[in-house]
């Protein structure tokens, strides 16, 4: 597009101006490598038998085994809780987007009574210490029949994902000129039709980024998800806290599960990697 | 930036803007001034373009309802806990502010508050500069960008208790690479299950590992949004790399850093899952942060009254500090 085109011209000058210190890249890749060490170590543990893990320290596994992964994929407790996490996380991303889209549009286009206070109130929901708030959570979800359902967890996670989604989407929408709304209104588009046909395609990348963040925060959350589930919707993270048996902790299996919990996030981030920088940059920052 | 019209005009407009900036700016100070003003101008123009319309509430309603469902009732229940002494579901007496008084005088809670504040301060002092440094040194173009972004973001995508598990293993002196290296290569005796300082360092390192990527991603996005003409001007002025960073990049990062600081404060002040998995608050009370102590009182001892009062005060502290940070950060440098 034109926007891209005009950037290419001064690149030769700018490339020099933006030149980083000579050792910066090296330092960065060294840091990235250090960052990966704990993860690689966990991966190393996941392919060793338990006796080798606890027996003695060795940098590389002496015997490589995939038994831990096999256990994971054959034991219904493990693989079903893995699926549970994926299901409620995806549901949460979709539901958060559906309620956040109109609200973000309202925040970006209109001033209305109490809009600033409402926004601050939404954000404060991130700040409640969970330990005590979990108790009433349990009671509410049980009383309305959402206890131990995927839908229940998805709704509970909207508590912190919806404010975030509104915040990111609002930033993107404010970058879309109002003239587009007005032109569409003159052309006879009703608000819902305009929103779905014209507006949503314009903010595709924002939707991608928002979905990613909802997915991420829902995926890593444990306390709420564990409190309002027992069997049918139990998250993988909760299953992992219960690997201690009479024989002690099954470190190999725990490490294998840990490795597998990273994969969905890694897949999602690979798909939205180009939008991430934009998502923050165009957001309300 | 503004629709079809702007797209057509863009090449001409960009040249003018570039020329203006390059011609106008002769010193680093003016440059920094321009960079500082820009966000304010954008905010002002955006605020003006919004029309007043109270019917917008209908669009916001689904959000309010969905959040209120999980936010308001629990809050009210906790307020209820905090002003009553509950013996059984049917036997309870109103005690007013007694629980609040006893909580604020409890030496254990005070110690945990100081510990948590110290932890948050250390987290911010370590992660913010480190994150900015990382963002500045990240690759900007080519295939390296994607790889770098994914690698840096990876720790953010790991469930929090798994982060705890990773470090619980990694820092062990006998079977973990990190702990083993410190003990056997550096020759320092390190055991996070016995030594308070080692436990603290482990939890702090874990948090730096886990959350610096968030600061780095935010700062990276902020850097990417700086228009090219600023850099051209710096180039023409012959500004050093440090001057370019200090007067162009850093001022433009104020917005993203505000958010980074707020998020990091909130989350580090309420940290629970990771240290719980690694140290369980020990050894002794060394890593017993407010949230860990709170859940001990609420879930372990089931003292709902003190726990409720404690939670509300905790909630209030987080809000006040966040508000102060926010106000100070948005006002300075304007």
The answer to whether the beta carbons of residues A254 and A54 sit under 8 Å apart is: no
Strand, coil or helix: A243: coil
Angle, alpha carbons B221-B120-B283 (nearest 5°): 130
Q: Where does the pLDDT of residue B126 fall: very low under 50, low under 70, confident under 90, or very high at 90 and above?
A: very high
A-chain CB neighbours of B166 within 8 Å are: 38-39, 41-42, 258
pLDDT score at B303 = 81
> Are residues B137 and A21, on separate chains, in Cβ contact within 8 Å?
yes
pLDDT of B77-97, one tens digit each? 888 888 888 777 777 778 878
Q: Which of A161, A147, A158 minimizes the C-alpha distance to A234?
A: A147
Q: Backbone phi, then psi, for A213, in 5-degree steps?
A: -65, -40
A166 interface with B at CB cutoff 8 Å: yes
Q: Is residue A18 part of a domain?
A: no
- Token pair of A268 as six digits: 């999602």
- C-alpha to C-alpha distance for B295 and B49, rounded to whole angstroms: 47
pLDDT of A194-220, one tens digit each? 988 888 888 877 788 788 888 888 998
First to last CA, chain B: 25
Residues 6+ apart with CB under 8 A from A238: A81, A222, A225, A226, A229
Residues 6+ apart with CB under 8 A from B24: B30, B34
Pick from B148, B244, B256: CB nearest A285 = B256
What does the CA dihedral A259, A279, B213, B118 come to, rounded to 10 degrees? Answer: -120
B216/chain A closest Cα distance in angstroms: 11
Q: Backbone phi, then psi, for B93, in 5-degree steps?
A: -125, 150
Q: Is residue A17 part of a domain?
A: no
pLDDT of A117-134, one tens digit each? 787 788 777 777 777 777
Of all residues in chain A, the one with the smallest CA distance to B43 is: A284
Residues 6+ apart with CB under 8 A from B96: B83
Q: Is residue A235 part of a domain?
A: yes
Of all residues in chain B, the one with the smallest CA distance to A264 is: B157
B185 interface with A at CB cutoff 8 Å: no
Question: Average per-residue pLDDT in chain A?
Answer: 81
Q: Is residue A161 part of a domain?
A: yes
Query: With a CB-CB cutoff of 8 Å, which residues 67-86 of chain A face chain B?
Result: none
Pick from A100, A128, A222: CB nearest B160 = A222
- C-alpha to C-alpha distance for B165 and A222, rounded to whole angstroms: 13
The answer to whether the beta carbons of residues B136 and B250 sit under 8 Å apart is: no
The answer to whether the beta carbons of residues B263 and B214 sit under 8 Å apart is: yes
- C-alpha to C-alpha distance for A169 and A119, rounded to whole angstroms: 13
Output B318 or B228, whichever has higher pLDDT.
B318
Of all residues in chain B, the one with the smallest CA distance to A125 is: B71
> Are residues A127 and B2, on separate chains, in Cβ contact within 8 Å?
no
The answer to whether the beta carbons of residues B294 and B307 sit under 8 Å apart is: yes
The Cβ of residue B313 has, within 10 Å, a number of other Cβ atoms equal to: 19
The answer to whether the beta carbons of residues B155 and B210 sit under 8 Å apart is: yes
Q: Is residue A135 part of a domain?
A: yes
**What is the span of the domain harbouring residue A173?**
75-282
Q: Which of A219, A88, A229, A254 minimizes the C-alpha distance to B159?
A: A219
B177 interface with A at CB cutoff 8 Å: yes
Of all residues in chain A, the one with the smallest CA distance to B217 is: A277
- Prior bond of B167 cis (ω within 30°): no
- C-alpha to C-alpha distance for A149 and A171, rounded to whole angstroms: 33
B174 interface with A at CB cutoff 8 Å: yes
Q: Where does the pLDDT of residue A237 fall: very low under 50, low under 70, confident under 90, or very high at 90 and above?
A: confident
- Token pair of A180 as six digits: 């587009």
- C-alpha to C-alpha distance for A18 and A200, rounded to whole angstroms: 35
pLDDT of A48-92, one tens digit each? 887 777 777 777 877 888 888 988 898 888 889 999 999 999 999
Q: Is residue A10 part of a domain?
A: no
Give the residue from A272, A280, A282, A283 with the most B CB atoms within 10 Å of its CB, the best one to mutate. A280
The question of ipTM being above 0.90 is answered as no
A-chain CB neighbours of B173 within 8 Å are: none
- Token pair of B4 as six digits: 């079809």
Arithmetic mean of pLDDT, B307-320:
88
pLDDT score at B180 = 87
Q: Where does the pLDDT of residue B114 fall: very low under 50, low under 70, confident under 90, or very high at 90 and above?
A: very high
DSSP string, B214-231: HHHHHHHHHHHTS-HHHH
Please report, for residues A153, A267, B272, the alpha-carbon distance to residue A95 in angstroms, rounded to integers and kept in the order given.
Answer: 12, 21, 27
Q: Within 13 Å of residue B115, how many CA atoms lie on the same side as its CB?
A: 24
Share above pLDDT 70 across residues of chain B, in percent, rounded to a whole number: 83
Q: Is residue A191 part of a domain?
A: yes
- C-alpha to C-alpha distance for A127 and B263, rounded to whole angstroms: 10
B-chain CB neighbours of A227 within 8 Å are: none
B-chain CB neighbours of A270 within 8 Å are: 146, 150
B-chain CB neighbours of A137 within 8 Å are: 70, 74
The answer to whether the beta carbons of residues B29 and B247 sit under 8 Å apart is: yes
pLDDT of A135-192, one tens digit each? 788 888 888 888 999 999 999 899 888 988 887 788 778 778 888 888 898 988 888 8
CA B237 to chain centre: 36
Range with lowest mean pLDDT among A8-17, B201-210, B286-295, B315-324: A8-17
List, in order of start, the domains of chain B with CATH numbers: 55-96 (no CATH), 106-331 (1.10.3720.10)
Pick from A20, A106, A136: CB nearest B59 = A106
pLDDT score at B199 = 92
A117 interface with B at CB cutoff 8 Å: no
**How many domains would you assign to chain A?**
1
Q: Which of B201, B195, B194, B197 minimizes the C-alpha distance to B123?
A: B201
Question: Average per-residue pLDDT in chain B?
Answer: 78
The Cβ of residue A64 has, within 10 Å, a number of other Cβ atoms equal to: 11
Query: With a CB-CB cutoff of 8 Å, which residues 285-314 of chain B face chain A?
Result: 290-291, 294-295, 298-299, 304, 307-308, 310-311, 314
Q: Is residue A42 part of a domain?
A: no
CATH code where residue A243 lies: 1.10.3720.10
Of all residues in chain B, the one with the smallest CA distance to A13 is: B232
Pick from A130, A220, A274: CB nearest B159 = A220
A178 interface with B at CB cutoff 8 Å: yes
pLDDT of B273-285, one tens digit each? 888 888 888 788 8
Give the strand pairing for B84-88 and A244-245: unpaired
- In the predicted model, is pLDDT for residue B35 greater than 70? no
> Please, what sign has the CA dihedral across residues B265, B267, B270, B271?
negative
- Token pair of B169 as six digits: 């293993």
> Please, what sign has the CA dihedral across residues A28, A29, A32, A33?
negative
pLDDT score at A278 = 60
Query: With a CB-CB cutoff of 8 Å, which residues 194-213 of chain A face chain B?
Result: none
> Are residues A220 and B158, on separate chains, in Cβ contact within 8 Å?
yes
Q: Backbone phi, then psi, for B186, in 5-degree steps?
A: -80, -20
pLDDT score at B241 = 80
- In the predicted model, is pLDDT for residue B120 greater than 80? yes
Helix/strand/coil percent split, chain A, to 5? 75, 0, 20
């Amino acid at each position: 597009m034109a926007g891209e085109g005009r950037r290419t011209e001064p690149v030769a000058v700018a490339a020099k101006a933006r030149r980083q210190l000579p050792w910066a890249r090296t330092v960065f890749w060294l840091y990235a490598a250090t960052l990966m060490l704990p993860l690689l170590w966990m991966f190393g543990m996941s392919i060793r038998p338990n006796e080798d893990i606890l027996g003695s320290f060795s940098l590389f596994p002496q015997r490589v085994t995939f038994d831990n992964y096999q256990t994971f994929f054959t034991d219904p407790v493990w693989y079903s809780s893995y699926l549970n996490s994926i299901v409620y996380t995806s549901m949460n991303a979709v539901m958060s987007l559906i309620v956040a889209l109109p609200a973000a549009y309202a925040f970006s286009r209109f001033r209305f009574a109490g809009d600033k206070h409402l926004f601050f109130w939404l954000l404060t929901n991130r700040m409640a210490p969970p330990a005590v708030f979990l108790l009433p959570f349990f009671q509410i979800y049980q009383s309305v029949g959402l206890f131990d359902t995927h839908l229940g967890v998805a709704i509970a996670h909207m508590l912190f994902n919806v404010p975030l989604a509104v915040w990111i989407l609002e930033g993107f929408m404010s970058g879309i000129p109002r003239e587009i709304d007005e032109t569409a209104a003159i052309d006879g588009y009703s608000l819902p039709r305009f929103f779905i046909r014209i507006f949503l395609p314009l903010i595709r990348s924002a939707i991608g980024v928002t979905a990613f963040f909802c997915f991420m925060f829902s995926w890593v959350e444990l306390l709420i998800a564990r409190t309002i589930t027992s069997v049918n919707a139990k998250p993988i993270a909760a299953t992992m806290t219960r690997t201690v048996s009479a024989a002690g902790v099954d470190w190999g299996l725990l490490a294998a599960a840990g490795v597998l919990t990273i994969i969905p996030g890694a897949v999602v981030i690979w798909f939205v990697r180009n939008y991430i920088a934009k998502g923050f940059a165009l957001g309300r920052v | 930036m503004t629709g079809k019209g702007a797209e057509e005009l863009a090449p001409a407009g960009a040249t003018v803007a570039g020329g203006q900036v390059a011609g106008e700016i002769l010193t680093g100070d003016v440059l920094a001034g321009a960079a500082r003003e820009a966000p304010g101008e954008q905010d002002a123009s955006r605020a003006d373009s919004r029309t007043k319309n109270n019917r917008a509430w209908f669009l916001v309603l689904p959000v309010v309802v969905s959040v209120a469902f999980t936010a308001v009732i629990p809050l009210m229940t906790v307020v209820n806990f905090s002003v009553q002494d509950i013996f059984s579901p049917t036997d309870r007496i109103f005690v007013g502010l007694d629980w609040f008084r006893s909580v604020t005088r409890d030496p254990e809670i005070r110690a945990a508050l100081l510990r948590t504040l110290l932890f948050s301060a250390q987290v911010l002092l370590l992660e913010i500069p480190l994150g900015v440094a990382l963002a500045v040194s990240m690759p900007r173009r080519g295939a390296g960008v994607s790889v770098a972004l994914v690698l840096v973001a990876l720790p953010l995508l790991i469930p929090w208790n798994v982060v705890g598990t990773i470090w619980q293993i990694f820092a062990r002196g006998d079977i973990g690479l990190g702990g083993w290296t410190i003990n056997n290569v550096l020759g320092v005796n390190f055991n996070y299950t016995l030594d308070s300082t080692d436990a603290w360092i482990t939890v702090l390192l874990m948090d730096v590992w886990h959350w610096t990527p968030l600061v780095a991603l935010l700062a990276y996005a902020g850097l990417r949004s700086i228009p090219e003409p600023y850099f051209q001007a710096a180039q023409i002025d012959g500004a050093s790399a440090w001057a370019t960073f200090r007067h162009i990049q850093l001022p433009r990062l104020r917005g993203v850093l505000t958010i980074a600081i707020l998020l990091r404060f909130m989350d580090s002040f309420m940290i629970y899952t990771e240290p719980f998995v690694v140290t369980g608050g020990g050894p002794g009370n060394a890593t017993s942060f407010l949230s860990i102590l709170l859940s001990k009182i609420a879930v372990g001892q089931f003292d709902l009254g003190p726990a409720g009062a404690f939670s509300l005060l905790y909630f209030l502290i987080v809000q006040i500090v966040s508000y102060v940070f926010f106000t100070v950060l948005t006002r300075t440098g304007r």
